[in-house]
Amino acid sequence: MKKFSKFFIIAICMALAISALAFVGCTQEFNPEGRIILITRQEGSGSRSAFLEGVFGRDYTEIVLPENSPQTSTANVHARVASDPQAIGFDSLGHLQGRQGARFLSINGIAPTVATVQNGTYPMSRPLKVVHRQEDDLSPAAQEFARFLTSSQAQEIISTRGYVARSDRDDAFVPNMVITGNVVITGSTSVLPLMQRLEEAFEAISNVTLTVTGGGSGAGRNAVRDGNAVFGMVSAPVTASQITDMSRDFSVTYTVVADDAIAVIVNDNNPRENITIAQLQNIFNANAETRYTHWYQLG
């Protein structure tokens, strides 16, 4: 019995030792001599378009990103950066709120905040929109949600979630409890976490239900065009040609829900606090004349 206990204790000790080694092995430190690992979004992403326009200007279509596997959501970008001390990526500031493992950098010495987005000093911000049919073509249930989106209740939720509310909207939403139905909303993963909070608040005070899914800004536009969704969440600019493309069987417009900043994010173990637009240009352009591939090159 004593011999068995001895072996049992030894086995437990060995297991604990292996676990400790595994834990140490998983705890990575930032290496200033190491490579910069780029985490980007896929083509069609509103966050990708807004980031590229903020860094390279409106004529960013010529830019070739040095990327391997673009991520399909802002949540995936955050998870990848949070798991790799050498990584850098871009995320919605509102989406970043309350999440651990990654943090934002100031750009040209200016931090992304509600104040710097409102006064225009932060260089990368964009309006978050939903595209939809003109009001006369919306069902009564969809009209109810459209009214809620621009209400004071919705704007309060937007502010508490880290996005920038539209200050010109102060009408309270009073639901029409006679109206029922289901409204499908899909699109931008940057808008998705906010829309899910708005969904909860709206359903709590009305008899209309919402079905909210992600997929990207492009997917949101296509779903409205094809009649598969009533509202398409979009975090990229909505162009005249896109409106024309969506307006096949009905006229399409859009509503600005909130404003948001594109945050450049790094792992919590990365000591850097600031980055410049010029540095971002040399990191994210595969054809940059002076390409930055290692962290020490940033100084």
Q: Do 46 and 232 meet the contact criterion of CB atoms below 8 Å apart?
A: no
- Per residue in 38-84, pLDDT (tens digit) is 999 988 888 898 999 999 998 888 788 888 789 988 899 999 999 99
Q: Where are the alpha helices (DSSP H) in 61-166?
A: 74-83, 93-96, 114-118, 140-149, 152-160
Question: What whole-number distance in Å separates Cα of residue 122 and Cα of residue 37?
Answer: 24
| Closest alpha carbon to 117 in 260, 280, 273 | 260
Token pair for 161: 């979630």
DSSP, collapsed to helix, strand or coil, labels residue 246 as: helix
- Per residue in 209-245, pLDDT (tens digit) is 999 999 999 999 999 999 999 999 998 889 999 999 9
Report pLDDT for 23: 36
Q: What is 37-125+261-298's CATH number, 3.40.47.10, 3.40.190.10, 3.40.50.11540, 2.40.110.10?
A: 3.40.190.10
Name the residue ranges covered by the structural domains of the chain: 37-125+261-298, 126-260
Identical fold for domains 37-125+261-298 and 126-260, yes or no, is: yes
Q: Interior CA angle at 124 toward 48 and 52, to 5°?
A: 30
CATH 3.40.50.11240 fits 126-260, yes or no: no
Reply yes or no on whether the pLDDT at 107 is more than 90.
yes
